[in-house]
Amino acid sequence: MAAIRVRGVSVYFGGFQTLRSVELEVGEGEFLAVIGPNGSGKTTLLRTIVGVLRPRVGAVYIDGKELQEYSRLELARRLGYVPQGLERQKFLTVLEFVLTGRRPYISFDYARVDYEKAMEALRRVNAEHLAARTLDTLSGGEFQRVVIARALAGEPEVLVLDEPTSNLDPRFQLEIMDMLRGLTGDRITVVSSMHDLTQAYRYADKVVALKGGQIYAMGRPEEVLTEDNLQRIYGVKVKVFPEHRAIILDNSL
Ligand SMILES: Nc1ncnc2c1ncn2[C@@H]1O[C@H](COP(=O)(O)OP(=O)(O)OP(=O)(O)O)[C@@H](O)[C@H]1O
């Protein structure tokens, strides 16, 4: 199982700086929610944590070892990534697609255990019944759950998700968030970006709020998700109901 440390990370696209000296730690089995306005650097941070992007300055450590020092295979086994807006390979079946999450473990061809793990992952996201369907026939929310299942099939120690519930109806939002929370009980470290502040409040152990590529606030949900902070971060008034652990936009004022 794994803890994550991001040390002094700055990421640039050409001359444009997207992350500025980001410094954070996530303990093993912790759930970190990454919040912030559109364009604040959430996806860039997640992609840096999984090694898709290499920071110009600073480094990411998993269990005390720098990302670059891991082999690709070892990283693929340890990390699961659920990106946003993944393109569908239309003619693959759901099961074939979820099986690709087992690639870091296979030497020649998928074995029985890989099929079992893939089906188990589909069950966890309540999509077992979709196994034989081709990806092009799925609704947006069904596809989203299947992408999560592919990451789970790889049995990652660290699961990184980019707005995993954005396409889901309320019931599936709760199911997926409960499932993610359950993973932390198995000591899996979860890092997820999200726009739903109530979900961040209810499910995360720790929240990091990005603004303009910098960490604006970080800490326990009740420390970070305050009316003052949120107004400064998003430029809108919100109302926080600590007794309900809920946050709403307050456009009545
Ligand atoms: N490949 C790229 N080339 C140039 N600029 C980029 C690239 N990727 C991201 N950016 C810029 O970096 C900034 C941060 O983008 P990022 O996708 O990390 O934001 P985000 O917080 O995830 O936003 P959203 O909530 O809209 O998904 C944005 O201004 C974006 O335009």
**Is any ligand 1 atom within 6 A of the Cβ of residue 211?**
no
Tell me the pLDDT band of 85, cut-offs 50, 70 and 90: confident
The yes or no reply on domain 4-86+157-249 and CATH 1.50.10.10 is: no
CA–centroid distance, 39 to ligand 1, in Å, is 5
DSSP run (H or E) holding 120? helix 112-124
**Is any ligand 1 atom within 6 A of the Cβ of residue 189?**
no
- Sequence-separated (6 or more) residues with CB below 8 Å from residue 3: 25, 26, 27, 28, 30, 62, 63, 64, 189
Return the best residue to mutate from 13, 35, 234 for the ligand 1 pocket (most ligand atoms within 8 A of CB): 13
CA–centroid distance, 74 to ligand 1, in Å, is 28
Residue 1 has pLDDT above 70, yes or no: no
CA–centroid distance, 41 to ligand 1, in Å, is 6
Coil, strand or helix: which one is 81?
Answer: strand
Mean per-residue pLDDT over the chain, rounded: 95
Which two tokens mark 82? 């659920």
Q: Dump pLDDT digits (tens) for 21-32.
A: 999 999 999 999
Nearest CA to ligand 1 atom 3: 13
Residue 160 has pLDDT above 70, yes or no: yes
Coil, strand or helix: which one is 39?
Answer: coil
pLDDT of residue 253: 53
**Is any ligand 1 atom within 6 A of the Cβ of residue 39?**
yes
What ipTM does this complex have?
0.96
Rounded to two decimals, the pTM is 0.95
Q: Dump pLDDT digits (tens) for 4-51.
A: 999 999 999 998 999 999 999 999 999 999 999 999 999 999 999 999
